[in-house]
Structure 1
Amino acid sequence: MSRTVIFQLLRMKRRLFLKPSCSKYLNYFFYHYIATQRRKRRGSYFKRLKTKLTFKSLRSLPLIQSIIMANGVDPVFGVNLRDLMSDDGVIFNYGNEIDENDHERFKFDPHVNFTDDELLKFINLDISDDERDDDSDDRDNDDGKKCKATVLPGLNFDKIKEKMQNLRDDGKIKKLILQQGVGNIIPANSLVTVKYSGYLEGQDNPFDSTYHRKSVSRFRLSYSELIWGLDLSIQSMRKHEVSLFLIDPDLAYGEIGCWPTIPGNSEVMFIVQLTDYNDNTETDDFKLLEPVDRKVFLKIEKSIKQSLLTGANNYQRGQVKLAISEYKRAIDRLENSHLDNDEEENRYNSLLSRAYQNLAVCYNKENMPRKACIACNDVVNKTAKTYFHYGRALIKMGEYQEAIEKLNLGLKMDPHNKEMTKELNLADKLQRFSLIIKQNMQSSCLNVAKLSSDAKNQEYRKIASEFCDNFTINNNIMREPFPNKIDPLLRDIIRKIALLKGIKVTSVDKDGKIDFYLEKSNYQ
């Protein structure tokens, strides 16, 4: 029975939306097939099987007898769900009638649950000749080295344990290095950045995976942010290392487990890639303080400085959202602290200004100009850098005149700042361009005043469409105010055209005067 049929079976399972109890039998069958192929030569182990398939029989029949494919049933589109759930059941037969030309299509289909190489691309275990099946493409090379084989998570954990070493004397954590790291073993209280996937025995899909989320996770070791077994496992790693860990239930989820995903007394397997770490021990010293001490500036000052450093490191690595979280955490802790004297107040203002200023930089990077303006406004000791990012945020908000004023203040503090001059020229250019557009729109309103109603509507729609298109293609701004003193009819048409083009329209009450703005969808 070819591997193509296995993927066909898997597609059928997904098409049928089987109950979990039925789906479990299917999964076990696939794992059993792949594992057996390692040990069986080209024999007749899998012949055409035939039985009656009902939900009741899936729960009661032996494993292999519960999975069969049918005479006249398309394995891609499956069968009628009503027939499958009936008391009579459905008769299935299967064989090798699938066109082998479809193999590649099914292997790389995004709806297939797993492929040999993609699910655990890092797990390459040395296997000997007697463990290798005849269909394997891996052969011993001329140097006599052992071949490599991808191991699926459905393989019995006992088989993997043979390749692993104990991390603890009691054997409750086992480790296999898949890719060597660099440098020294990381400190026990490091702030780590990892990618990982966690598996239960006999399951093809991880119960937790950063790869599925297409992200990384950051944890402080030794602070109970992870299950204890995984925490201890990561403490044994080096930077850029990729390792496989098997963790005993006592150091994982215990007797209770984590229902419904993880049953009690479950051994778990983790594949961990340590991408980066920060070994500064001061970062979370705040958590070690007593609640009363957390409000004393003198006792939290070191942890605040370290939080600012961690935020800067995150920003440099491109983890802007993590940097935002770190700066906001530092600000919250500072603003809840008490000061004893003027000297502490000066140090407090310096740290708070750094935090808000760096927060504004991050907000501008993430195209959140409104939040960047709020952060700049909260900076106590404003610098040229503060005014630069204040002006940049105002440009994105379409407030060109205010942006020019802020940038001029920054230029007075740092007259030779080329970036400041460049941003000032951009603000002036955009202001003049915006003014020309608004003047043209106002004069157009006068020109069409004498036209008929239909002709006026048509002309206004053309003007509104051009206004919205210019806003959309301008990557320098996130918001644009409506021109003043235009025909109310044109303003209404602009609103309608903008909504049709997916542009938000908002209004702001300024001293009793309502101003309308175009806003891009991600404006914050």
Structure 2
Amino acid sequence: MDEMYTDPVPLSKGINMRELLNSATEFHIDTDFKKKKQDSMFNCDEDLFPDLGDVDSDSEDVLKSLEESTKTKMLDCPEYHSFDELSKQMIDCVPSGDVKMLILEEGTGPIVPVDAEVTIHYAAYWEKANIPFDTTLTMNAGEPIRIRLGKGKFLPGIEIGLTSVRGPTARLLLLLRPAAAWGPRGVPPRVRPEPALFSVALYAVRDVQAAARFNDLPQEEQCKYEVTMRTVNSLHTEAKNLFSMKKYLKCIKNYQQSMSVLRVSLPKNSTEEEKVKRLRINAYVNLAVCYYKINKPKYVLRMCENLDNITDIEKHCKALFYYGRGYELLGKNDQAAIYYKKALKLEPKNKEIGNALANLDNYNRNAVLNEKKMWQTVFKTVEEKKIVYDVDEDFQNGVRDMCQSMAGNDEYAKFDLPNGLSHDEVECIKDLCSKFDGLVVLEDGEGKRKKVSIVKKS
């Protein structure tokens, strides 16, 4: 039994970080771990110690693969002599020195808010180790993990480090003392009570509370240019995320909120005024796109009209394109074509505009063809069928002469035909009489007793 645990073993369930940091925690060992096939480095139950001792070839392959992955994701451990030497290149994030940071790639945008949702990868190393003992590369099928900061569900030192850099992208090293990581006692035997180096890649930041935070500020703070820019950029970033998930109504709400924030902004110079204007243009254009997605053409056109009041829309390809979209939704294809052509003139190689014009031309062409077919159906002339009767020519000529004689008579006249006429003979008489004005055929009775008469109405 003791030999079974000479190598590190996985736990049967994950670690609850809140319990781990604040109270006693029970660990449940998976006693069947050696029976399970470990064929992927992305198994979140993998134990990844750099000091495994004697390992088999499969384990070596896993560790080699992991080391390569950290290099690919730029999470590999940097070269240094010792943590003490490395710390001299770092800055303290907290006065105690429990969290030291070295920014490898400066991020863009504002400082990451303390309550933001971040998407990250990290790899944690003991001193002078090349293979991480803990990494997100073995979690979530190798995809970056998404974390909401400020909820106490993540290592304090990493949260402190992340909220000390600019987002949405950045790469940094964090040297954490035990107090800022898993606690001063560690989690033996897996986690030692020693400093650990974290290589962190920040991929995305969602400031989900930007609008609420802005609303809580006093009015004099809300008007500050820096405050409005930070809030609007966060709202637009969140709107892009909502748009990618096809949550268009929520996306519209974010852009509308950003317009409200921009109205109170007080830029101090022409450069800041230009930035405010650019964000307003961006908001109106994206609102037009969102309204198009939910089939609200009148709102699409309204956003384009508002845009026309703050910039020369004739020079804005996307605005012209959605002017066309709005008119097309309303069925005003001639006006839509005008705006599509204006947009295409600005960007002749734009395939989306070209396709929109092509589809519109096809629609108009089909509409003309369908209209032509409709009127052809309405005014369709049925070609007269030449009826052939089983009667001789002399009979037909005699009936025709009689019809001409009766038709030329202005007075009322009636001619009774003899009994015993065949069906074809009667039909022939009817057909010939129909060609003369005022002549009608009257039938009375059935069968051999049927009486047939030709009448000339006066």
Instruction: Identify the TM-score tier after normalising by the shorter chain.
Output: 0.3 to 0.5
Which structure's CA Rg is the greater one? 2
